[in-house]
Structure 1
Amino acid sequence: MEAGNPSRRKRKLEEAPAAAAERGAHGLEPPLRMGEGEEGGAAAADRISDLPDPILADIVSLLPTKDGVRTQILASRWRHLWRSASLNLDCDGLDGLYYYLTEDDDRALAALIPRLLSAHPGPGRRFCVPACYLRSRSAAVDAWLRSPTLDGLHELEFCDVQAFEPTRPLPPLSALPASAFRFSATLRVATIRACHLPDSTAQTLHFPQLKKLALVDVVLSETWLHSMIAGCPALECLLIHTTSGVRRIRINSLSLRSIGVRVGCQRTNELQLQELIIENAPCLERLLCLNLLDGLQVSVTSAPKFQTIACVSDRRDFSTSLMIGCDAVIQGLHLDRLTVAVCTVKILAVDLFMFDLDTVIALMRCFPCLEKLYLESVPGGNNLWRRKHRDLIKCFDIRLKTLGLGSYRGIKSEVDFVTFFILNAKVLELMIVQVRPQDYYRGFAAKESRKLKFENRASKGAQIHFTTDTCLRGVSEINDACDLDLTDPFITRC
């Protein structure tokens, strides 16, 4: 790009929401009138505009920021709705905003945010700005958060957009502005990223309506985190992602339903998380360990509704250790102790070095009521089972209804592995087999179905779905507190 010419991304940012808010219907392409277009007719009716203003305002507040502002040019009926709707100011959804900001984009975005805040009377619904601004523009962020437009804010996020080159050293973290805590009475969703959370704020933490909290790349203490959990009586989803400064976390919460933990942090001079203890969580249903590179000791003392586990793994010697009460101890994928089967667990996602049937059978013995099993693996191993598990087949009740397999290639060890479930899982409803695009070809599904003896399946109502689409969500793709709120977080679409 020639010197002096504005970047394409900067032009997009400068043409985005604030310009539309200031110009109204001037300077933008007029939209098609209702009834115009290839399939429309003069008699076509604008039924959406007939909806009451409060409903239309809710619709506008849920649109991406740029689209919400542009509703003002649709028709005179819509002109006032953006200002009467709760403000959705989400920088992460603006055209041209990517993971790294150039210097020009940085200036353009920083100028755009206050223009939007001044153009809208409030109240605020969602406010999302780059986390790097907590360091580079801390005074501006504090001023934005104090804007009356954001009064009553429901969602606050500092998103993962960087204003520095990835090869530069990590900058020091700044403290979260005190103004961020002024929304404590109304905040429902919060993603706090790339900042320091000082102990001086711990005693005042009280968020009565907060349901989803993500702490990403933050430095905090055990005191701060435990005070935060205690101060959120409605908290349902907690994501602790690459945080530092804390070695042990104890969970005591009457409301938490989902916990996601990713260990590891680039700030190696800080304490790293080593131990997670679920002491008392009567509503906890899902516990997701989201990475495989660092050992994490997890113990569950009291969680009577515990249903979903991810991700135990056998890929590293220091993989996650899971202890459930005094009944079961799992080191990686090896069952070290089983006193009493854990019958509450219905969904399990595991990462195997190879599709190993012996390992999976041991896990099914530990979790005999398992209904959904998701496996990610690399090919290899030997899964001959007909003689070895002949007695097991006669007495073991496989209750699986859904089986998801990632990175399937159709080699013999995989065929033997899958055939075991096809011929023995009597209540199986769906098998999702995700195939790499380079391994898929015309006739692949028919050929594999024959190899897998699908016509002889134990469950006559079972279906098998071969796909190159990303139907299955790997644990590494769960990076948002909202992902934790899904009944089954490991399946997207098919």
Structure 2
Amino acid sequence: MAPGLSRDVMHYCLPASPVSAAASLSAAFSDGGGGEDRISALPDGLLRNVVSRLPVKDGARTDALSRRWRGLWRATPLVLDDAHLLTDGPGVDWRAPAAAVVSRVLASHPGPVRWANLLSNFIDETNQDALAEWLRLLADKGVENLILVNRPWFDKVPVQLPQSLLCCGISLRRLYLGVWLFPFTSNGPPRSPDVFPHLRELGICQGIMQDCDLDYMLACSPKLEIFALISNYCMPDRVRIGSHTLRCVLLWHSMVAEVAIIAAPQMQRLIIYCTHAPGPGRTIKVKIGYAPQLTVLGYLDTAKHVLEIGNTIIKARVTKVSPNTEVPSIKVLAVKVRFRVPGEVRTLLSFLRCFPEVETLHIMASDNDTDYYDDPGEVKPRDKLNSTFWERVGPIKCVQSRVKKVVFDQFSGGPNQVEFLKLVLARAVLLHNVIVLLAGPESMMMNEVTGKLQPLASKRMWANKSLRKHSLEVRGRAAGHIWSYSNASDLSISDPFIS
């Protein structure tokens, strides 16, 4: 991924600031021209709520409005977004605001710090002392939400975070770190649940972290529920999850060799999106161990992922279905597949047999991918599906007895795509809703694909012909549509995939 795109992905995934730069304060005056200030007559609690929604520089200035406002800003939990301290104009350093300005704001407010967005400074060896000072002040004032991102400088190794970061952990609820070299913990402080006792959400973005550092963070976060690895490249190389509290793990536009759920009794969701293996010809092992509450999984990629359940690697035409190769808790499954590659079609069918209780199935075609083989210079005979392949496909339990909804994304009507839909329609007795999202918004494609799909809308093609209502809906995809990271990480949304 290009550096600029990687940076865009990272910023797209960061939690939104609770304060808008467009927020402003204006008093409402009476029509009689008496100059009555009705806002100042509000109770202290409401006034502090008003101040908390203002950019920090405007909130601090409310002290000068009148005696009524004096001290309200200092009595309100601090929300600091350093983007609101930027100064526009010719000749202004793009790395502004100066680190000293951030330090001055943090020093002038007694705390607590409800939210700190520190994204606009460039920290290098010349101003690392300022970073250490921020972390000291944030720790002293009980920061609850911290988003700390360095301005990337692509010809240099990221700056190492000081160990004092760990001192902020006592009060933190949410922590996102971007473009940093994580403080090495192998010879550092001992693992203890007292390091991050209240941390519930952790995001590591475009940084460098050893496998042991990730293990340390998980071991020191006894209440962690959401962990995200965003735009990271091989560090950590292996994401191995052993946590009694984690409910959601997201690997987003990252490069890893393995993601493994070792023991996660509360895990509900594993999202693997646009994640790549560390090098050409390599794959990513996706291992599911003890995760009895895991209900959402995807996108499994038939080209890039090696699925291991328990201690069994799932191989098409080799692995026999058994309780040891099934994950019955999965209700929402998403799989990415190149339908024109017969080996991947077989892998798709093998994957489906591992999840017998799936109710919502998301399929994403990736037939625009051109890499048939690991080595493009290697000549191999192309595998083929014979004319009776689809008729001889064996039982798939989830399709036959559980699937109620299918979403087919990036549909083009290419080889094996229509045949797969026919197979599902003919066997899924509970299926009542099929949504087909086209690979492009062109009207010509819409007409062509609609023609191919029209026969499938007939009730005689569906396994349950007695259903009063069933629907096959074809939609054009909006140009530039991006799947939402916020949906993927929102545990209140039962199906986070495109629908």
Could you tell me which of 439, 454, 477 is aligned with 1:468?
477
SS in 2 for 1:433: strand
CA distance in structure 1 between the aligned counterparts of 2:409 and 2:75, rounded to whole angstroms: 47
Q: How does 1:2-81 map to 2 (within 5 A)?
A: 33=28, 54=45, 57=48, 61=52, 65=55, 69=59
Could you tell me which of 77, 88, 98 is aligned with 2:79?
88
The letter for the 2-side match of 1:227 is: Y
Q: How does 1:316-355 map to 2 (within 5 A)?
A: 319-326=304-311, 328-330=312-314, 336-340=319-323, 341-354=326-339
CA distance in structure 1 between the aligned counterparts of 2:457 and 2:386, rounded to whole angstroms: 18
Question: Which deviations, in whole Å up to 9, do the C-alpha atoms of 1:428-452 show, x marking residues without a partner?
Answer: 3543333355424698599459625
Partner of 1:403: 406
Partner of 1:4: none
Partner of 1:13: none
- 1:67 and 1:103, CA in 2 relative to 1: closer, same or farther beyond 3 A? closer
CA distance in structure 2 between the aligned counterparts of 1:449 and 1:84, rounded to whole angstroms: 65
The letter for the 2-side match of 1:461 is: K
Deviation at 1:258, TM superposition (A): 1.8
Deviation at 1:281, TM superposition (A): 1.6
Partner of 2:96: 107
CA distance in structure 2 between the aligned counterparts of 1:285 and 1:350, rounded to whole angstroms: 17
Deviation at 1:236, TM superposition (A): 1.2
CA distance in structure 2 between the aligned counterparts of 1:96 and 1:449, rounded to whole angstroms: 57
- 1:19 and 1:372, CA in 2 relative to 1: closer, same or farther beyond 3 A? closer
Partner of 1:154: 144
Partner of 1:296: 284
CA distance in structure 2 between the aligned counterparts of 1:445 and 1:462, rounded to whole angstroms: 22
For the Cα contact (< 8 Å) 1:434–1:471, is it kept in 2?
A: no
Deviation at 1:304, TM superposition (A): 1.7
Which structure 1 residue ranges, 5 or more long, are not aligned? Answer: 1-16, 37-46, 266-272
The letter for the 2-side match of 1:239 is: A
- The root-mean-square deviation of aligned C-alpha atoms, in Å, is 4.9
Deviation at 1:424, TM superposition (A): 4.1
CA distance in structure 2 between the aligned counterparts of 1:404 and 1:35, rounded to whole angstroms: 57
Could you tell me which of 153, 158, 176 is aligned with 1:173?
158
For the Cα contact (< 8 Å) 2:285–2:307, is it kept in 1?
A: yes
CA distance in structure 2 between the aligned counterparts of 1:189 and 1:293, rounded to whole angstroms: 28
Q: What TM-score, normalized to structure 2?
A: 0.69
For the Cα contact (< 8 Å) 1:20–1:70, is it kept in 2?
A: no
CA distance in structure 2 between the aligned counterparts of 1:445 and 1:64, rounded to whole angstroms: 53
CA distance in structure 1 between the aligned counterparts of 2:54 and 2:442, rounded to whole angstroms: 38
Could you tell me which of 406, 426, 429 is aligned with 1:426?
429
- 1:439 and 1:337, CA in 2 relative to 1: closer, same or farther beyond 3 A? farther
CA distance in structure 2 between the aligned counterparts of 1:234 and 1:174, rounded to whole angstroms: 28
CA distance in structure 2 between the aligned counterparts of 1:86 and 1:486, rounded to whole angstroms: 27
Deviation at 1:369, TM superposition (A): 0.7
Q: How does 1:216-365 map to 2 (within 5 A)?
A: 216-241=205-230, 242=232, 244=234, 248-261=238-251, 274-290=257-273, 291-294=275-278, 295-315=283-303, 319-326=304-311, 328-330=312-314, 336-340=319-323, 341-354=326-339, 358-365=346-353
- 1:217 and 1:423, CA in 2 relative to 1: closer, same or farther beyond 3 A? same
CA distance in structure 2 between the aligned counterparts of 1:442 and 1:48, rounded to whole angstroms: 58
Percent identical pairs in the alignment equals 23
CA distance in structure 2 between the aligned counterparts of 1:394 and 1:258, rounded to whole angstroms: 26
Question: Which deviations, in whole Å up to 9, do the C-alpha atoms of 1:221-270 show, x marking residues without a partner?
Answer: 444332321221111122234265655554322111122346866xxxxx
Deviation at 1:188, TM superposition (A): 0.9
- 1:245 and 1:314, CA in 2 relative to 1: closer, same or farther beyond 3 A? closer
Partner of 2:128: 138
SS in 2 for 1:351: strand
SS in 1 for 2:417: helix
Q: 2:204 matched to 1:215?
A: yes
For the Cα contact (< 8 Å) 1:432–1:466, is it kept in 2?
A: yes
Deviation at 1:209, TM superposition (A): 0.6
SS in 2 for 1:375: strand
For the Cα contact (< 8 Å) 1:384–1:416, is it kept in 2?
A: no
CA distance in structure 1 between the aligned counterparts of 2:433 and 2:42, rounded to whole angstroms: 41
CA distance in structure 2 between the aligned counterparts of 1:486 and 1:335, rounded to whole angstroms: 38
Could you tell me which of 425, 435, 438 is aligned with 2:438?
435
The letter for the 1-side match of 2:435 is: I
SS in 1 for 2:95: helix
For the Cα contact (< 8 Å) 2:339–2:416, is it kept in 1?
A: no
Q: What TM-score, normalized to structure 1?
A: 0.69
Aligned residue pairs: how many? 435
